[in-house]
């Protein structure tokens, strides 16, 4: 009986210890999770952007104004910046991302200034748009000649151009920095930089430092901005046996274009047409058949589809041709 009682006491003590062991294991697990998560949260921290200026609708000047508003910004000790984090590149160099971030804050579409994550990415895009330039007489810009680019005089570089420059002295691997031109002083440029000594600041740039430059299509920025926020509406239709004239609302911009898509009811194959007019006539239709029609605006920056800013489609209209 004594042995049995002793055994029972030991069992009860062991059962009392087990919950304590579980609690200790659970607490240890929580602590490990917290310690593991701390570095990630620390890396995600970055100083907030500085206050933005009021915009005027002059996209070139608005971009420069937004860039200037960020002067004095300094990245976190971890290397993080709000501009790189915005572009999904937290912790990385952020000169190209800075220009793109400022462009969006200035209301400039990605088709005008892309979300570049490197100088070379910018060069590819602007080359495809026919808006990449090489300063004449500069022997250090040979890598830019691998892209479609035009030659430009150094004195023709102007305010609002984006330059791709050399900072580490190794010209053979191409540009490693992106900056925005503020002014051309004849023998050098005044530029605003993101990620210049880990901050936003104004510096000067001499001709020999420039690989090449891009000239964004600022004149089409207003069109692209209007396209993004405007959803067209089909106002009226004029119907005959084999024709339908579609009349729709438009955008007051000389660069705006319109795309009309239509198909036979029951068919999934859309036929598209484009025009600069605010109406279009669809021809060679079948008599007595229903057609599904919709329209949207777009802004064409270059002949590349990726450089076209498309708006939302209008509500569809179902129209039946006459018999």
Whether the Cβ atoms of residue 182 and residue 204 lie closer than 8 Å to each other: no
| Stated length of the chain | 323
* CATH of region 220-320, choose from 3.30.470.20, 3.40.50.300, 3.30.479.30, 2.60.40.10: 2.60.40.10
Which pLDDT score, from 0 to 100, does residue 44 have?
59
The ranges assigned to domains in the chain are 59-216, 220-320
Which residue in 45, 55, 50 sits closest to 200, CA to CA?
Answer: 50
* Of 162, 120, 126, nearest in space to 143 by CA: 120
pLDDT tens readout for residues 75-134: 999 899 999 999 988 888 999 999 999 999 999 998 899 887 788 889 988 998 899 999
Q: Where does residue 223 rank: exposed (0-12), middle (13-18), buried (19+ CB within 10 A)?
A: buried
Q: What is this structure's pTM?
A: 0.76
Structure confidence at residue 45 (pLDDT): 75
Maximal CA-CA distance, the chain = 109
Q: How high is the pLDDT of residue 43? A: 43
Positions of the chain with pLDDT lower than 50, given as ranges: 1-2, 10-11, 13, 15, 35-43
Q: Bridge partners of 180?
A: 162, 192
So what's the pLDDT on residue 48? Answer: 94
pLDDT of 37 reads 45
pLDDT at 13: 45
CATH code linked to domain 59-216:
3.90.1720.10
> pLDDT tens digit string along 221-245?
888 888 888 999 999 999 999 999 9
Question: What separation in angstroms does the CA of 108 have from each of 57, 104, 197, 211, 319?
Answer: 10, 5, 27, 25, 37
By the 8 A CB rule, do 311 and 230 touch?
A: yes
């Amino acid at each position: 009986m004594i042995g049995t009682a002793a055994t029972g006491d030991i069992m009860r003590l062991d059962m009392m210890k087990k919950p304590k062991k579980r609690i200790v294991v659970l607490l240890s697990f929580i602590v490990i999770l917290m310690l593991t998560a701390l570095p990630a949260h620390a890396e995600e921290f970055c100083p907030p952007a500085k206050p933005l200026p009021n915009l005027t609708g002059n996209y070139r000047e608005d971009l420069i104004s937004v860039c200037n508003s960020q002067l004095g910004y300094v990245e976190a000790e971890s290397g993080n910046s709000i501009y790189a984090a915005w572009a999904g590149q937290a912790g990385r160099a952020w000169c190209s991302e800075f220009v793109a971030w400022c462009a969006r804050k200035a209301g400039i579409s990605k088709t005008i200034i892309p979300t570049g994550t490197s100088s070379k990415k910018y060069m590819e895009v602007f080359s495809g748009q026919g808006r990449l330039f090489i300063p004449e007489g500069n022997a250090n810009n040979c890598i830019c000649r691998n892209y479609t680019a035009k030659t430009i005089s150094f004195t023709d570089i102007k305010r609002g151009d984006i330059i791709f420059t050399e900072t580490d002295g190794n010209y053979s691997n191409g540009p490693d920095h992106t900056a925005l031109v503020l002014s051309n002083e004849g023998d050098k440029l005044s530029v605003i930089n993101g990620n210049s000594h880990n901050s936003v600041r104004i510096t000067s740039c001499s001709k020999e430092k420039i690989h090449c430059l891009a000239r964004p299509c600022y004149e089409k920025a207003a069109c692209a901005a209007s396209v993004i926020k405007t959803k067209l509406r089909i106002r009226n239709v004029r119907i005959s046996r084999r024709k339908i004239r579609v009349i729709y609302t438009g955008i007051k911009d000389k660069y705006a274009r319109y795309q009309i898509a239509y198909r036979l009811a029951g068919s999934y194959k859309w036929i598209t047409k484009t025009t600069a007019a605010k109406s279009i006539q669809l021809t060679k239709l079948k008599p007595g058949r229903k057609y599904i029609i919709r329209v949207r605006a777009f802004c064409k920056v270059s002949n590349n589809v990726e450089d076209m800013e498309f708006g939302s489609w209008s509500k569809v209209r179902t129209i039946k041709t006459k018999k």
